[in-house]
Copies of this chain bind each other. A is one copy, B any other.
Amino acid sequence: MQKQRIVVIGGVATGPKVAARARRLDAEAEITVVERGALVSYGNCGLPYYLSGLVSNLLELRRTPAGLLRDEAYFWEQKRIRVLTGTLATDIDRGRKKVAIANLATGETSTLPYDKLVLATGAHPVLPPFAGLELKGVFTLNHPVDAEQMVTDIKTLGVKRVTIIGAGGIGLEAADALSTRRLQVTMVERLPQVLPSVLDQDLATIFTRHLERQGVRILTGLRVLGLEGDASGRVRRVVTETGVEEADLVVVACGVRPNVELARSAGLALGETGAIAVDQYLRTSDPDIHAGGDCVQNRHLISGQMVYVPLASTAARHGRVIGDNLAGHAVRFPGILGTTVLQAFDYNLGRTGLSEREARGLGYQVMATLVSGSDSSHFHPWHGRLILKLVVEAESGRLLGAQAIGPSEVVKRLDVLATALTLGATVDDLASLDLGYAPPFSTPLDVVSQAGHVVQNLRRGLAKGISPLALKQKLADGADVQVLDVRQPEEVRGRSIKDRRVTSIPLGNLRERLNELDRAREVITLCELGVRGYEAARILTQEGFSSVRFLSGGLAAWPDDLEG
């Protein structure tokens, strides 16, 4: 049998993974990776950590754990993979199974014959349609050279004020990194909240409150109209719908779009999301052409719909699956949950599965609740608080998605929930998970199981919850409601909702002071985390109060800063 010729277009993340896996399975294949940039196989997700100074040398993002630099020589010596950098794939001739390539330095063109072709062309940053993007000091954070130039500018030009356009994950990682360098950061987001593709409004509001406490200016629901520079062509101002922001440096972080031009011009099918369509084996509409990573769409494991969620974790899994398939193993890629996690300003946060907004948009009957808790035993000095949100199908109790945020071990819970989601768990499953407990790691009932219990209680009709945003709105609307704060007097003195409709009765006195409440009017009980509020709601319900709800997640999840 003739040696198989494999050509991979794209040398970052997916591409090298495909090539390496194919090589391990097929010693004979001729494997070529074509990369238009100068570098291959760098850890793009590490750029914010170079920007912050935590990673001091960009070379670290190109090394293996053993310290080897992943350059062309590495791929040839270690893996017998030929890497062509600075080389653009310009055309695919599917009939003759050839790729036309051009050396970007010399202009020289040639063709690469293939038996199997892999498109790992990645994505490019969205550039918004306003003037001034060409000014010096305007960056995206997509490539090592961006990060390198930004650091140089900061060190040499006396940069003080940065405006970040777009408050998604990259924008926030950049904001964190630049704040670490003591720059004044302003974020401008067109949509009404930060992290619109990660968090529902409730958790986004909590995060915004935290960011503002850290000194970040957050301007949401605001459109940028353009950038203006000085005489030297350097950016100085960001013009928005409401005014002008002074800025010495601008980061444009408005998301990415898949690089599909090559696929489109070759007549390969694109999907409804605009990214390349692939089947379960990550084959495009041409069975000899696979595609993976940031240039393809994926099936969402919960909704079954095709979605465009470009992530490095997905890219890595794609690479292995494509490598398997190239070597003749029919391995499927089942799909994604869109699990996204982020560390910024000492908070950890993320999501997995469907958000509440998405689930409702898809027509699910949704039960969503916030649960506040601790990531480890509260007597352990290093414990931290977290707020967890579960999105559940009301009738079946099946988990649809989860979000979490806090200065604590949030991502552990999201990974547990991602695993549970993948395997079709219900809230009953969450309630009875046998998770590891020792004081540094958890509470005897981990907050994931606690959240399962809360939803079990809601589904059994033992209590009704109200979200902090809904209660805030209700109070703002002037509703005739009794808000019952059952915390201890010293907690109430510390911070509380200032409103004449709030009554304070500590839980321990509630049973003998029931006559201070009007049984005929609605009561909303609250405490710090939600546990005592629920307990108070149970007492009132048992005592015959007709309309009782408790504040889900407690004041810990309240959208505003509260004072004593």
Contact = CB atoms under 8 A, between A and B. Distances in A.
A377 B343 CA distance: 13
A256 interface: no
A87 to B, nearest CB: 23
A313 B379 contact: no
Contact of A45 (B342, B435, B437, B538): B437
A315 interface: yes
A333 interface: yes
Interface string A450-473: 000100000010100000000000
B78 A379 contact: no
Quick one: which of A341, A487, A488 has the most chain B CB within 10 A? A341
Contacts of A460: 329
A420 B419 contact: yes
Given A46-B439, A341-B438, A379-B61, A433 B418 contact: yes
A484 interface: no
Contact of A438 (B45, B80, B453, B531): B45
Interface stretch (A126-134, A237-245, A506-514): A506-514
Interface string A66-79: 11100000100111
A429 interface: yes
Nearest to A445: B316
Contacts of A339: 434-437
B379 A434 contact: no
Contacts of A340: 436
Nearest to A332: B432
Interface in A469-517: 487-488, 490-491, 507-509, 511
Interface stretch (A95-103, A105-113, A407-415): A407-415
A422 B415 contact: no
Nearest to A382: B54
Nearest to A20: B535
Contacts of A266: none
A80 B511 contact: yes
Given A338-B434, A341-B442, A416-B419, 6 more contacts: A61-B379, A315-B444, A341-B438, A418-B435, A419-B419, A419-B423
Interface of A: 13, 24-25, 27, 43, 45-46, 49, 54-55, 60-61, 63, 65-68, 74, 77-80, 301, 311-317, 320, 329, 333-334, 336-343, 348, 350, 352, 374, 377-381, 409, 411-412, 414-416, 418-420, 422-425, 429, 432-442, 444-446, 449, 453, 460, 462, 487-488, 490-491, 507-509, 511, 527-529, 531-532, 534-535, 538-539, 542-543
15 contacts: A25-B462, A46-B439, A55-B379, A77-B509, A313-B446, A315-B444, A320-B453, A334-B432, A336-B434, A340-B436, A352-B436, A411-B438, A412-B415, A415-B446, A423-B425
